[in-house]
Structure 1
């Protein structure tokens, strides 16, 4: 009951907050840990079309080498930032349930700070199914409802709706995805204390051995079920509904006119 009330009173976690978190010592430590666990999930992306949905830029900078194209879609209520830094922009502000893409063109999709922050998780997953190619792979990093990180608002993983493994299995099944791999990360307490940050690797080793069910996040890899037929046959616009805000690092904080 307490966690449900907290979800209602928390302010919106926008792109400026997310960027600030990943610039902090705790954010950098959590990024390293999650990126290490994701490395095995990316595999060979040579020639692939890669989509990041939510706030994935801390995890897309290095593993997408060799991909034909990489896109970073950020959810409309959260704001957007230019990405990659110093290169032509490949980021856009979108409605997560109305992606500006043709059907079956995404080979690999990564969702971080996405599923738990959307008001329509089932619809978002169905939309991802639509744009993914046959046997396309989806990897999601989702707060674990049994972990400490979902109970603390010191990090973005304490916002929105956390999930258990069984809940993720069910919602993926309903969206016509088949889970093919699971892993866990973030066993250290969500603390900025130097001792905690220095011992992060030890916490990970201990947690994986003794209490994997209590990780801070669950990482799930799923494959699109190619035999399923989408019931959604309406026409779609091929441009983002909201114009991306691309000017400068503080663009996400600027009020809309």
Structure 2
């Protein structure tokens, strides 16, 4: 599956449409996480346009970019906080972040469930992950001039079911980018009004779906374990019965008797 590279993403967010998009999504993300003081925040995909408000507030802010996307130094001021990583082997310890933002990542992943499993592993038990994906019914998923027009778009129901099957519990679902994906300045100037109206009147046709989820700890317990134990117990019983039968036949042979079937 083709994924926009670091050059395409950078050019979009430097454009006028990209700057307006970044401003609206940053406001939406802030509504999910109004305070991350003392917490560790991780961005996966291309999340750097939305992480800047947390730099001075969070205990730690780190961004991971997929290897087939490319990486860019960030932020311009201060030490670099970006790593290039394999999405199936995130170079992080278990439960190391309280907040994880996933944007421009899930819809272009070729191995969605293993990728979600890695996010589950890294997320702290009391934390939350925020997934931002193109909405299947929205205009943005059809606009190839934007990063949201590539990969596999999702409806709200599809995302909720996907997260549930990957051991996440969806807590809150919102929509975003209710203005059309065009760079016409009159539209962009009216985007704030269109966002307020669209949230009430046409949320199902928004550009993106935003879902905040927590990890299900109990779901990590192997359900099939009792069956495996029963199979092992049955196998051991069969081996023991076979050994007893063999012993009985050998004893009868040595005694010159006709072998008979072992009573069960």
TM-score by length of 1: 0.83
Counterpart of 2:6 in structure 1 is: 15
Give the drift of 1:87.
1.2
Which structure 2 residues correspond to residues 2-151 of structure 1 after superposition, within 5 A? 12-151=3-142
Distance in structure 2 (CA, Å) of the matches to 1:125 and 1:224: 11
Residue 224 (structure 1) aligns with: 215
The structure where helix makes up a greater share of residues is 2
Describe the superposition over 1:24-63 as per-residue Cα deviations: whole angstroms up to 9, x where unpaired.
Answer: 0000111111111111111321221111000000000113
Mapping for residues 231-246 of structure 1, pairs under 5 Å: none
**Pair 1:230–1:162, CA change in 2 (3 A):** farther
Structure 1: distance between partners of 2:20 and 2:94? 36
CA distance 1:223–1:12, change in 2 (3 Å): closer
Greater RCO (Cα-Cα under 8 Å, separation 6 or more): 1
- In 2, distance between residues paired with 1:50 and 1:63? 8
1:45–1:65 CA contact under 8 A, matched in 2: no
- Structure 2, gaps ≥5 residues long: 223-264
Offset from partner CA, 1:185-206 (integer Å, 9 cap, x none):
1111110111111111121122
TM-align CA RMSD? 1.4
Partner of 1:180: 171
Report if aligned partners of 2:137, 2:204 keep a CA contact under 8 Å in 1.
Answer: yes
Looking at structure 1, the residues matched to 86 and 207 of structure 2 have their Cα atoms a distance apart, in angstroms, of 27
- 2:197 corresponding residue in structure 1: 206
Distance 1:208 1:47 in 2: 32
* Structure 2 Cα separation of the partners of residues 38 and 64 of structure 1: 14
- What is aligned with 2:234? none
Greater CA radius of gyration, 1 or 2? 2
Q: Deviations over 1:167-195 (max 9, x none)?
A: 10011001111111111111111101111
Shift in Å, 1:104:
1.1
Measured in 1, the distance between the counterparts of 2:83 and 2:77 equals 16
The normalised TM-score by structure 2 is: 0.81
Alpha carbons of structure 1 residues 96 and 158: separation in structure 2 relative to 1, 3 Å: same
Q: Is the 8 A contact 1:97 1:127 kept in 2?
A: yes
